[in-house]
Amino acid sequence: MLACATLTLYAQETTQKPVLNSAYLQYIEQYKKIAIEQEKAHKIPACITLAQGLLESGAGKSELATKANNHFGIKCHKDWTGETFSHDDETAAECFRKYRRAKDSYEDHSLFLLRPRYASLFELPITDYKGWAHGLRKCGYATDPTYAAKLIKLIEDYELTSLDKADKPEKQVTPKTEQTLEEDLEPAQDNVITKTLGKDKKVSATMGELSLFTEHEVYSEKMVRWVIAELGDTYETIGYEFNIEVSRLRRYNHAEGRKQPEIGDKVYLTHHK
């Protein structure tokens, strides 16, 4: 089976389903066909390939992706004879592979996983995305102890296992416009926040509704709301996005001094115990 399609653009808080990130949706739409091609050619689950691309490249916005077309963070290694790109990672100025096209990066990622080091992964069913995610971590693809959990969350949140329906007509999802966003909003309640959409156009919403027109997915449980830090996020950028004073945002997250959130961290938008 293959694996991927977009779901709804937002979810009900009662089910605690995250609001889907528009940048992630755009990346999925742009690269899912390549991921499917790689699955057909090399028997690597398309959902795993796409989730890794999303995570490693920051939805195509990382420096490696934009300047070197490297969507999987693959370093040069001694057998690489192609172009290279210098990038700070675990140490300064490390050597990474540079590609002519993003598609070349996807192909090289597949060939990279065909090494003996990852042979155990190909003994798993192609539909066992959890096994593949944990296997990648165990085989040493990434040092992050939460790497498998992050891949699984991306696959499940964005329903990447639905790529097996890629050959069928896709369900069209109509993006919400500024006008429909205003129509969706309920009357203002406590904790009202105003956001500007477009030129001189403002929309007011409660914190819970704010997720309808922000870039980050807003999570909620027992009146506590948070987002997950992404590539390039700081308390200043998140505070600006949600119109929350940086000092207050830092206080919510016990972030003193110059400390900034790391990718995957929870950033609380409200007070919590």
> Where exactly are the structural domains of the chain?
13-165, 178-268
Question: Residue 164's pLDDT is what?
Answer: 52
pLDDT tens, position by position, 115-174: 999 999 999 999 999 999 999 999 999 889 999 999 999 999 999 998 755 443 443 434
The end-to-end CA distance of the chain, in Å, is 44
Judge whether residue 94 has pLDDT over 80: yes
Measured between alpha carbons, how far is 269 from 255 in angstroms, rounded to an integer?
13
Measured between alpha carbons, how far is 21 from 258 in angstroms, rounded to an integer?
27
The CATH code belonging to domain 13-165 is 1.10.530.10
Give me the CATH topology for the region 178-268. Answer: Membrane-bound Lytic Murein Transglycosylase D; Chain A (3.10.350)
Question: Residue 165's pLDDT is what?
Answer: 52
| Position with higher pLDDT, 111 vs 210 | 111
Question: Residue 18's pLDDT is what?
Answer: 72
Judged by DSSP in three states, 202 sits in strand
CB within 8 Å of 21: residues ≥ 6 apart = 59, 215, 216, 217, 230
Q: What is the mean pLDDT of the chain?
A: 78
Question: Residue 193's pLDDT is what?
Answer: 41
Measured between alpha carbons, how far is 230 from 265 in angstroms, rounded to an integer?
8
Measured between alpha carbons, how far is 62 from 73 in angstroms, rounded to an integer?
10
pLDDT tens, position by position, 20-43: 899 999 999 999 999 999 999 999
115 burial via Cβ count (<10 Å: 0-12, 13-18, 19+): exposed
Judge whether residue 80 has pLDDT over 50: yes
pLDDT tens, position by position, 211-259: 333 467 788 887 888 888 887 788 888 888 888 888 889 999 998 888 8
